[in-house]
Every structure is written in C-alpha cells, then in structure tokens.
Amino acid sequence: MTDFATTNTANEPRVSTLTYAQAAAAALQEAMRADQHVVAMGEDLGRGGVFGQYRSADGRNLVDIFGEERVIDTPISEATIMGAGVGMALAGLRPVVEMRVADFALCAIDELVNQAAKNRYMFGGQGRVPLVARLPIGIWTASAAQHSQSFESWFAHVPGLVVVAPSTPADNYGLLRSALQCGDPVVYMEHKELWGMSGEVVHEPVELGRARVAFSAGPSGRTDVTLVSWSRQVHVCVDAARALAEQGIHAEVLDLRTIWPWDRDAVLASARRSGHLLVVHEAVQAAGFGAEVAATVAEHTDARVARLGAPRIPVGYAGSLELESRVGVEQIRQSALRLLKRA
C-alpha cells in the first residue's frame, strides 16, 4: 500500500490526501491485504460501490484487485446479504457487509439485531460475529424520505452492537481500520454527503470510543459552551462555533466519532469546564441519541443542557421541504445563545 502515500519513513506513519470514500477504500484494501479472512459483500460492489467507496484512489475497483471471491456482488436482498455475513463471521471470516444506504438495512434488521448482536452473549462467547455493516446515513440532497434517514440511535439502543459515525476522511480511514479489527458486530455509518470531502489521512487506526476536539475554545483556554455532535453535523457545528467566536463566545466542538461506546469522560469534562452543553445532530430530535448525551450530562454535572435535532417529519424531496429537516449554522448559534442566557 505505498501507492497513495505522500510520505513514508521507517518510523513515521504514512500520510495521504484522500477523499472520504477513498479513505475507506484504502482502509479496506490494507485490511484485505493483511488478512485473507476479510471479505466484502453487497450490491454494486463490482462497479466500485454506489458512491465509489469500493474503488481505490487510482480508480481501480476493488474486485479487480482482490477478485470476485473476496469482493462479492449480490442480488438485491438485504436480509440475505446480512444473514450470509453473519454466517461467514461465525465460520471464521471477517465480512464487510454493504447495505447501500441505512434506509435499506431495515430489511435486514432481524439478522443484525437478533442474530449478529446477540450471538456472543447467547452462546457464552463460543460464537463471535466480527462483522462490519456499512450503513450510509444522512440527508442526501433531493433523495427524499427513503434515502435520507439517520438511524444511529436505533442501533445504539441494541446491546451487542458497536456504532460508528466518522466525520472526516482521516477518521473514515482510522475508524474503519479499528472496526475491522473489532471482534464484535459494528454498525458503520458513513454520511452520504461526505464522500467527496478531501483531507489528510494518517494511515493508523483510530481507537473506537474516543471523541476528538473538532474546534477548540479561545486562546485563553476559556470555554463558554460545549457543542457535541457527530458525522456531517460536526462541520456545521464548527461553522457555528466560528460565528459565535465573532461575538466573543468561545465554543468547543466535540466530535463523538463513536456513538456506542461514546466518550462520556470527554463530554463530561468539557461540560464541567464550560457549564453549558448543546448536543446537535442531523437525526430527528425526538428520541435521538442527543437525549442520551444530555441526560447523562444533567445527571453528572451542574451544566445547563439542551439538544437540537431535526423536526419529526419525513425528509422532503423538494428543496424547500428538505431544508426544513436540515439543522443549520444559524439554528445552532441561536440555540447556543439561548442556552447561555438560561439561569
């Protein structure tokens, strides 16, 4: 895997500039080269994936590199794909199961929730399901209600599942490497509108369950409000933090990266410093994962807490309707200001 590296010495990790999609493909390529038990399976993998996430940085489809026995094109049957993946994992393989978009994974939810997630517990650890289910999430412009949903809270609710939501090319590389090394089933949720984002990628795994600071407080170290988010919404929060900074308000933006397990220590520490926590996500606010974060902070700190997510409506096809489901910079800024005014 030296073809994408821009630097490479014996003692330093390689660094490349890759898109979000290429970063994931690079992580998968490296894992497949290192371990012949890693296989990929799903619809349209033969043409490099719907979003090019199974295509190398030099444009080759992964099936041309690893062959049809390891990059497997399947019929359109999500339940069959997921069920086969669970069986492969129990037989000793490490399958990457592609669901195209998270919305379609609902056809496979029994295999994922009742079989993959429970197997280790129900059979006393005799069976493990080291499966990575890639479920792209999020609003996909002009793709309407059945292609734009975010279900991270659904899967975070299920014991036995790890849930990951990378927001940058670097994390899409590093977190997928870690997901592929995890011994338990991982629901891996990439955002459909981040595939083309470019960024520097360090070719090292990123530990699951560790948040990162996406935007830091002012140079004095003062933090007035903590913004917690994940996936694409992290970038909107960073823009909102910059807008708040122009008003003299210092916000710290934490990117959870992993929805379950989530980095409680980092969130609680930041909330204690700032005294104000706002959780922001693209998913519907009602019963969203923001409620879990907000409740935990309220239980363990004296911080004022609030949450902001989409209204409980289907994502519209028309641009004006779709916009109603997006949580924008100004909404976040106004929510932060209201939070700071609370006694």
Task: Return the pLDDT at 10.
Answer: 61
- What's the half-sphere exposure (Cβ side, CA atoms, 13 Å) at 294? 18
Active site residues: 147
Residues sharing a CB contact under 8 Å with residue 35, sequence separation 6 or more, in sequence order: 94
Whole-angstrom distance, CA of residue 80 vs CA of residue 44 = 15
Task: Return the pLDDT at 93.
Answer: 97
Shortest CA distance to 283 belongs to which of 185, 180, 171, 163?
Answer: 163
pLDDT tens figures, 54-111: 999 999 999 999 999 999 999 999 999 999 999 999 999 999 999 989 999 999 999 9
DSSP code at position 56: -
Homologous superfamily of domain range 17-202: Thiamin diphosphate (ThDP)-binding fold, Pyr/PP domains (3.40.50.970)
Whole-angstrom distance, CA of residue 238 vs CA of residue 215 = 6
Total Cβ atoms within 10 A of residue 198? 13
Task: Return the pLDDT at 4.
Answer: 39
Domain 212-341: CATH class, spelled out: alpha beta
Look up residue 191 and give its amino acid: H
Look up residue 343 and give its amino acid: A
Residues sharing a CB contact under 8 Å with residue 108, sequence separation 6 or more, in sequence order: 78, 79, 81, 82, 83, 99
Asked if the domains 17-202 and 212-341 are classified in one and the same CATH topology, the answer is yes
User: Bridge-partner residues for 215, per DSSP?
Assistant: 253
Task: Return the pLDDT at 8.
Answer: 52
Domain ranges of the chain: 17-202, 212-341
Q: Which portions of the chain are predicted below pLDDT 70?
A: 1-11, 217-219, 343
User: Bridge-partner residues for 41, per DSSP?
Assistant: 72, 97
Beta strand ranges found along the chain (DSSP E) = 15-19, 38-42, 71-73, 94-98, 132-134, 162-164, 186-188, 198-202, 212-215, 225-229, 251-255, 258-260, 276-284, 304-310
DSSP code at position 113: I
DSSP string, 131-170: -EEE--BS--TT--TTS----HHHHHTSTT-EEE---SHH
Whole-angstrom distance, CA of residue 73 vs CA of residue 88 = 15
Look up residue 51 and give its amino acid: F
